[in-house]
Structure 1
Amino acid sequence: MPIPTHVFDPPFNIIRCSHVVLDVTDLNASSAFYETTVGLHVEDRDDRAVYLRGSEEHQHHSLVLRKAPAAACNRLGFKVGNESDLDKAAAFFSENGITYAFTEQPFQGRTLHFTDPFGFQIELYATMEKRPHLLRRYDLYKGCHPQRLDHFNVFAAEVQDTVDFYARLGFRLTEYGEEDGPNGRIAAAWMHRKGNVHDFAITNGKGPRLHHFAFWVPTAMNILHLCDVMASSGFLKNIERGPGRHGISNAFFLYVRDPDGHRLELYTSDYFTGDHDHEPMRWSLKDPRRQTLWGAPAPRSWFEQGSPFTGQPVREPLFVADVTIAD
C-alpha cells in the first residue's frame, strides 16, 4: 500500500501530542498509582478529576483522570501553534464533514473537540496554564521520574485511511510495518510532528481503541527502578511487558497497566527525525525484530486489549495481517 507524501503546508499547524484524558472508575486509586508509583506530579484535583504532569513539562497537565462509570479513553490532546490554527481547523472540519465543537476545558484556553472519520476523539488547544518545571526538584522525584508525555498508540480498524488522514494534517511517517509482496498492506505506522519517532502511532486492530500512551524517562535505569518499585508496592501483576527494546523506534520500554487496565508505556532512547527529507524506515511483518529486538515475547493481552473511546462503537479491522511474532 502507498506510504503518504509528507505535507509541509497542512491546513492547520499541530505542534505535538500534549495530553490524554482517561475515564477511570476509582479516582483515588488511579491518582495514587500515577502519582506515587509511576511518579507523575499532581497539579490540581477535585472530586471529579485529577490533573498530572511530568517533571520537565511547563504545561499544567499531560494526564487527566476523570471519574466515570466505566473505564475508557475520553480524549487525546494535541497542541496547535496559535489561536488562528483553531479557526483553521474548524474550517477544515466543516469543509470535510467532520463533527467538531468549541468547548471550555479547565486550565486550557479555547479548545476544539472533534471526532475524526475513524472514531478517535481528539481535542486541540493553543494555550494552557503554565507551571514552573520541576526538572531540578529532585526532592520531588518518585517512581521512574517521568519527564514528559511522548506519544499515543491506537488500534485502528482502517489503518491506511487513518494514516492518510493524519498525513493530510501534516503528520510525517518515520517507520512502518508492511506485508511483503507487490500488494503488501501497511499494518502499522509511526507518525510525528515534534521531530522524534512519533507523536501518534496507528496499528491494525479492532478500533477505535487506545493501545497505550507513553511518558519519556531519562534512562533505562529509571525503567528498571520502576520494576523494583512496582514489585515491592503490590503492583507486580500490573507489569505487562518488558523491560526490553523495540527494533521500531529503538525504544527501551516497559508496559504497565493502571488500576482500570489502561496501558502506559515508559520509554527512552529513540532518535531525531526532524530533517525535512527524513525517509521512513520499512519493516517486514515477517521480521520479529521490529517488535522485540530483545526481551521476553509480548503476551496475548498486549496484542488484543485496549481502551475504547467513550461512546464509540468498536469495529473489526478491515484485514488481519500475517505477522511473525518474536518468541
Structure 2
Amino acid sequence: MRRVTKIVAAGVASAALALTATACGSSSSDDSKDKGVGIAYDVGGRGDHSFNDSAAKGLDKAKAEFNLGSKELTAKNTDTEADREQKLNDLAGAGYNPVIGVGFAYADSVKAVSKKFPKTTFAIVDSVVEGANIDSINFTEEQSSYLAGVAAALKTKTNKVGFIGGVDTTLIKKFAAGYQQGVKDTKPSVSVDIQYITQGGDFSGFAKPAEGKAKAKGMLDSGIDVIYAAAGSSGAGAIEAVAGKKGTWAIGVDGDQYQDKGLAQWKTAILTSAVKNVDGAVYEVIKSVKDGKPLTGTHVYNLKAGGVGLATSGGYIDDIQAQLDAAKKKITDGTLTVRTTPTS
C-alpha cells in the first residue's frame, strides 16, 4: 500500500490515528507466533532516565493494557551493525510482533531484517526507513529544544549557558541547534557553549554518566549556569553536577526528568525538560498491531501536535510562561522556523 508521511500527536486515540496518519500494513500471523512485543534499546537501555526509558514507558503501558508478553534487548557500546541486525532477527524469528528498534543506530538493521519477515511490523525511532512493514517514528526535537533555549536565556544570571550532546550526530545536532537559536533569539548577548562526549559512530557517549558529569563540571567552572544535556544516561551525570552547585540549572530531555524517581535527589536543580513523547509513539505502534491495523509509513511528532514540548514540573518556569507561550505560538503557526544544525 502507498506509504505516507504525516504529522501526528503522541498519545492520540488509535482509531483516529489509523484513519488520519497511517498506511495499513499486513498482519503478521504467517511470520510469527504472536509472543508479544520485541524491543531493542539503544546504548544505555532501560534505566537510562532518558530516551530508552521513554520507550520502555510506552511498552509497559501497552503490556499492561493488552496483557502482552515481551522481550527486551539492549545495545552494547561495542555492538557492530551485525550485532544490531542479529538482535532484530532474533526477536522477529522468535515470533515477537511488532519489533521495535529504539534509536537511529538500528536503521540499517531494520531495513535488512524487515525484508526477511514481511508479515511482521517493524518500527524505528529517530530515523526514516522505507519498507511496506515499517513504521518510521520521528520527532521535531529542535522545536522543544528551542523552548528550552528560551527558558535558559531568561534564567541565566551569568549570560553563559551550555549544551552537552551524547554523540556528535545529525540527530543530536537538532537538539543543539534549537537550543542555541532559542537562546540567541531571546537574548543575543548570551553565549552558548556546545560540547559532545563522543564523536561519529562511537555511541558510548550516551552511556557515560561520569563523563557527562565531568563535562558539566567544566562548564560550571567556566561560569555557565544553565546546562541542557541531550545525552542519554550521560545526562544524569550532568544533572548531578549541576545539583552540586548552588544557583545553577539543568534542563532535562526526552522525558520529564523532574518526575524521574531515579533522579529525585537532584530534581530541584531541574529547571524544565524538553519532552519527546517516545512513549506515546511506541504505545501507538504496539496498539496498532494489536488492533490488526499496523502503522506503517513515516510519522513526525511535532510541537503543534503535542509530540514534543516543555515540562512544567516544579513550577520553576511559571514566571516566564508568557514568553514561552509566545515562542511556542510562533513555531506552531509557522512564523518561526527552527534550525536543525547549529551555527558556528
Q: TM-score, normalised by structure 2?
A: 0.27
Higher strand share: 1
Relative to its length, the structure with more helix (as a share) is 2
Computing the radius of gyration from Cα coordinates, the structure with the larger value is: 2
Greater relative contact order (Cα 8 A, min sep 6): structure 1 or 2? 2
